[in-house]
Amino acid sequence: MLRIGKRAVLVFTVVSLVGFSTATYLHLRFLAVREPVVCRKVSVAEAKAMIESNPSLLIVDVSSQAEYEQAHLKGAVNIPLSDLSSRIGELDRNSAILVYCQGGGRSAHACSDLVERGFTKVYNMDGGIIAWVSSGYPVVIGSSALSISTYEFTI
């Protein structure tokens, strides 16, 4: 029969606890260091470059239906912010998604919602379609693309 002294049991217990607490500390430390997923804000110039360089980029307009019909980016899908939670299944969590609205406020909210639901490649176009048009970039009105320089939005 193996005899283990009290001192050996105490040493084993202390070493086990130190090892466990060290492992726990390191695990929690590395969890805290990992950067959280955030929605990245991009300028309209960056958004345009993304659209031109990534044909699989999903462009989501979270404006109302009426605003979408007034002007939207070519290839954009309209999912009004009020419908986003019920239509989230239409979006691929692994795809890069560019989100915009008319001025940038609703798209920032939509981006936060997407990140909270596990989307990791989410970009918010700063300034919305108003900034896009102000930069002289083309939009779609109805079913035709239009290069706009004097187009005005009703806000």
- Active-site residues, by number, are 101
In whole angstroms, give the CA distance from residue 35 to residue 37: 6
Burial of 97 (C-beta count, 10 Å sphere; 0-12/13-18/19+): buried
Check: CB of residue 77 under 8 Å from CB of residue 59.
yes
Residue 74 near residue 140, CB atoms below 8 Å: yes
Question: What six digits make up the tokens of 122?
Answer: 């989410």
Rg of the Cα trace of the chain?
25
